[in-house]
Amino acid sequence: MKAKLGMSPIAWWNDDLVELSDDVSLEECLRQSRSAGFTGMEKGRRFPDDPSVMLPILKAADVTLCGGWFSGTLVDEDLATNQARIAPTIELFKAVDAPCIVYGEVGRSIQGKRDIPLAQKPKLADDEMKAYARKVTQFGEWCAEQGMPLSYHHHMAAVVETEAELDAFMKNSGEGIPLLLDAGHLAFAGGNVLRAIDNHHARINHVHVKDVRMDVINRLDRSRQSFLDAVALGAFTVPGDGSLDFGAIVQKFADYGYEGWFVVEAEQDPKPNPPLRMAQVGYKELMRVMTAAGYTVETQGFPNR
């Protein structure tokens, strides 16, 4: 079985908490990640949107674009509005041969609002969840028809956060919307990561290997503290530096024959957690558990073409 290891630039630049950002260029971010061993990087705010500009940067760094976030609003807005907004990203990602676009629902979400506590996160009634899941499926099918698959990201402080909400979303959606399984977000939400893989492995097409510091999470006052407060306090980290057993998690993916990207997405304060050092820690741990699970990790970055 083959696997690819990538990173998210959120370890270097945090879009919601600018104080948790390392003031480095795109080129330096890519250099550090590649030097740690990672062959892919998800799109961040400092990436150019013109493929003729992006491709030479990726080639020089020997890195491929392994995905990137789209802020969807399908819980409130119509298909056409979201189709128009995602169309340029589809064309860009096709041009640079990215594997998928990560769909993150921001409609009603409080994930970017530091003044709203976790306890006030949005919830959908059963009929709302059914309608929403069908709508996202339609959107996923349309994106695939345009030549770029989506990967649905369950997320803290959003309408699909808990394991029960993920189960309901998956039950009422279809194969037209694949799943991004994020170990850290599910664990933060109190879910069972291994059970979620058991239940939904057939539709998982992208994986975020985000670790958590459960001592930080367990100390949160969810009636007062927000998702961004949790991030600032250090709720997330890289594999090998947190509480999750990635040996068991990666083995579970291997058991189901998952092949594809495992992406480290670990937003935290770069001052006590320098991104290069954390990238090295994450890569070392992932290589250890990948090897034990029988994966061959691909080492080629930018494709030879």
- DSSP string of 266-305? ----TTTS-HHHHHHHHHHHHHHHHHHHTPEEP---S---
Rounded Cα distance, 305 and 60, in Å: 14
For 188, residues 6+ apart whose C-beta sits below 8 A from its C-beta are: 156, 212, 217, 230, 235
Residue 133 has pLDDT above 90, yes or no: yes
Residue 18 has pLDDT above 70, yes or no: yes
Rounded Cα distance, 15 and 12, in Å: 10
**Least confidently predicted of 11-25, 83-97, 188-202, 280-294:** 11-25
How many Cβ atoms from other residues are within 10 Å of residue 214's Cβ? 14
Which is nearest to 214 in space by CA: 194, 180, 181, 191? 191
Average pLDDT of the chain to the nearest whole number: 97
Average pLDDT over residues 267-284: 97
How many Cβ atoms from other residues are within 10 Å of residue 116's Cβ? 16
Torsion of CA 186, 187, 191, 195, to 10 degrees: 90
**DSSP letter assigned to residue 204:** E
Residue range 76-90, pLDDT digits in tens = 999 999 999 999 999
Rounded Cα distance, 107 and 155, in Å: 12
Residue 305's pLDDT band, with cuts at 50, 70 and 90, is low
Place of tokens 């370890």: 11
DSSP H/E element including 164: helix 163-172
Sign of CA dihedral 98, 254, 241, 71: positive
**3-state SS, residue 180:** strand
Average pLDDT over residues 18-29: 94
Residue 15's pLDDT band, with cuts at 50, 70 and 90, is confident
Residue 248 has pLDDT above 90, yes or no: yes
The pLDDT, as a whole number, for residue 304 is: 83
Which is nearest to 239 in space by CA: 215, 263, 274? 263
Residue 301 has pLDDT above 90, yes or no: yes
Residue 153 has pLDDT above 80, yes or no: yes
Which is nearest to 169 in space by CA: 200, 197, 146, 148? 200
Residue range 162-213, pLDDT digits in tens = 999 999 999 999 999 999 999 999 999 999 999 999 999 999 999 999 999 9
